[in-house]
Structure 1
Amino acid sequence: MLKIFLAEDEVIVRETIKRMIPWEELGFELVGEAADGEMALPLLIRQKPDLLITDIKMPFMDGLTLAKLAKKELPELKIVILSGYDDFNYAKQAINIGVEDYLLKPITKNALIERLSEIRSRYEHEKTQKEYYEKFQREMQAYEKNSSRDFFEALVRGSMDMMEVYKKAEKLGVDIVAEAYNILIFTMNSEEDFSGQKEGYSEWEAESLEMLEEFFSGHPSAMLFRSNIFSYGVLLKGQKESIKEITKECVGKIQGILKRKESKREWFLAVGQPVERLSQIKKSYHTASRAFSQRYLYVENILYYDEMEMMEHRSGQADTNDNAYLKKVDVNALNPAILQKFLSNGIQEETENFVKDYFYAIGQEPMESLVFRNYVILNVRFSVITFLKGLGCDTEGMEPENTEEILAESGKNIESAIAYAEKMVSQAITIRDQNSGNKNRSILKTAVDFIESHYMEEEISLNTVANVANVSANHFSALFSQNMGQTFIEYLTSLRMNKAKELLRCTGMRSSEIAGEIGYKDAHYFSYLFKKTQGMTPSDYRKVREDKA
């Protein structure tokens, strides 16, 4: 419904207009009226109508003044002026203000209905255009986001020299110059499963990601990027004296979004150590990653690296039983569920830190005992083999016959035990990833089949396809990009453009018809996107093909 406000000082004229137009039938809603411009202005600001119909000559404030002030407050407002003066100066002023129409009194019912219907059509067309261009901007951001993700990944891993960093940042329009930096790493669900046994679509996770992207896209000192398939990173930048406050603000925002509803999702946020040089970002990322790897043993949702380091330092000076840090971790480290959780969710890069932390949680004193050390080794071994068998994997190569030889070698000391456990866990993750690759291929096939049979539907989206594939939008986005070499929107756009080229070559369909055939309602939007991706307009493409033929 198009909302209309009526300003007219003559009561009879105002009531006649109200009665003679079948507002609802024509798709209008009369939301307010006033007898002069002065009374109308505050009501307009409050009601925020789409269209103002106003008389030009009114007491206290005339129609032109009202139109000018109303346009200033409500730039999108459309205005129709009713006037008994056939004076070019009035019309000229109205045009300068941006009035939609200038109608002379007396005006008939049919004439007014005709003009209002024209205005409604223009309004709906403009609204559709605006929605499509906003959609286009979002899609273009998806292209940029993919490039930005690669940039941040290279930045935090230190794989670019500083000159290259600044050049790429400038190309992407990313401002990374600051006095101090920090890194956050978080997961919306630390139960996400690489083995493919628990994964499923989550509306909560999709909503959370949308809220997080909205917050960080407008933040002057924080940039969101994907850390790996199940986690995100945030690069924070600011002045030396403000970086801690910026860190605190962003931690609070992430916490607020991820705990806004009761959810079984076990989210976790790790906070790195601030650094004062861009070249030291790798160090900040390392400290955040170190804290992030504690999510399997740490029972709270947020862990600061500085806090972890202080507690570990104190533990070296105090008796293990009094260790404040171990009061926060799961001291029942021998519980097979802890190892199972890491085997399901951990990544290869975290294995070394996890195994060391796992043995640290058990305690150095009991590990001095050969009998207990052998028990822990066998517990690790049993957990790994049980996990792999649960996935249906072949464990023959991991089950040598002589257990005594294994214990004799790995049970020599704590270091040997840790090295053996790390080797077993690392092998298990390699086998798990190979096995999950089969499931990922199945997910991608389901997704690609759906895209190829529904690409012509305007409303198809990443969330829609993720739901069909029964995976979270976050997981699907990363999985698709890593395996297909392009983002979901790049793939969809490419598919649509290829179909468009086929129709341009093989049919006489107009661009507007082709646009509708491949999922774009608006022909202008389709032409714009075609030119951006193919380097020429649809009509130019058809002409080139005809000339070659």
Structure 2
Amino acid sequence: MRIVVVEDEVLVRKGILSGIPWEEHGIQVVGDAADGRTGLELIRRLKPDMVITDIQMPIMDGLEMIRLVRKELPDTAILILSVREDFGAVREAIRLGVIDYVHKLTMSPEELLESVLQARNAKAGASDELAKRPGSDSGSASALGLPEWLAGAQADGEDREFVPEGRLFAVGIVRLPPDSDGGAAGRLLAAASEPGLREAILHTAVPDSVFVASASPSVEPADAESDEMLAARWRDDLAAALRKLGPEGARLSVGLGAIRGRTEERNEAYREAQEALAGRFYSGPGSAHLYSPEAVSDDSSEDSARFAPTATLKAYLAALEQTDGDLAVRRFEELFPAVPSTRISPRLVRERMLQWQSSVALLLGEWGYPLQGFWEQSSPFEQLNQLDTYEELREWCWRFHTVARELLEDCSQNGRRSEIEQAIRYMKENYRNPLRVQEVAAHVNLSDNYFSFLFSKSTGQPFVHYLHNLRVDKAKELLREGSLPWYEIGERVGFDNPKYFAKIFKRVTGTTPAQFQKNK
């Protein structure tokens, strides 16, 4: 991975360049600049995989540079350095598609390195998903016809069956849960009474299915009102099919575009289906949605302007630092009401929630909680973008609010908390069994994220590393005795896979279990 650093403060820039062992992680810093204009020229010439940039800079600020990079090199990942006062700038950066932020005043080398590695892993995962899309070697040949037709391929031969000559049609999309077996869309369409439905997988990595609904021969092209009635009938038919599938149908969602009469309009029909599917953001899964031009949200609308505005965000942050927990809850509910206006676009909701999360994280950093290692698997940007509904997003924000309150209340306490001592005792008693952080956190009555943070802070290492070290220490005792083979000892101390046991043992001790046992 090749990165460019753009930062006007010399000490910060030099710290990023020389204070992090980039090459040990397969990362090369190919250039650095002290202002946005020089940085832009450097980025244009070097075309790096990632840019780390400040926002406030001379000659050309970071936002203007990001806008131009996004336009000319859209695949370049961008990570920003921010401070708490950059409310509007961070919000605009999020809108421009930055992947993450790091608090400039409190960041550690480890925190910045972790953010870059997470971004690299996310980019690699996106490339893997792209490789699975129709047209790649891994795609199913039977699933390619309809997506190719939607992409503009000529409707000849077998493709003509998607929309027979002179028929009215609409394009639909079925959103499947991530753990779906892939056949749920087919079962849904089989349960529908409309005979003119044809379905194919559009994107095998994120399992959406696309289908075409075409009118029976008895339906003649009619006026717009009749078209709307036909589309509503198809929508109701699909909603009934969802109910027929029971629990499986309750996890699916359908978006249906407007009625079309010309196959040349199929791309527009597919775009309408995507917009219709966005209706699940507020209703949740288990429903069918019909495209309506009036339902398309406008970010400049009065409802959008009232959702999580800057003034309300600042009032929330002020309340968060006070001892009155009820006031902080009221301010949270003002930011993210339980029942918001459905006229607010999902994209804007995510932007405002990301802005809120970054502001809270910056506040915690100022209190001495930079949250390094807090997001164990993926960044908050990735987590929020993976959630599909407003209810899920609001619940995520509420959990983070709870953690923030606990952290701020904990500022006056020093040393290891009794909950962590209790958790360590529990781990020593149960290390032979499958142990997850959720189980141990529940045992000591703490939230998962807050427990993970406190555990790392108190012990100096993440929960998983501590558990691995504990199990390896127990394994070393048994290996010294020499009465059991090493792979059976691995199983006895909690590793269910001999290869994984050997890998972790060597990482901790520098030698394999078999070598350790031989040289005991």
Which of structures 1 and 2 has the bigger CA Rg?
1
TM-score calculated relative to the size of structure 2: 0.30
TM-score calculated relative to the size of structure 1: 0.29
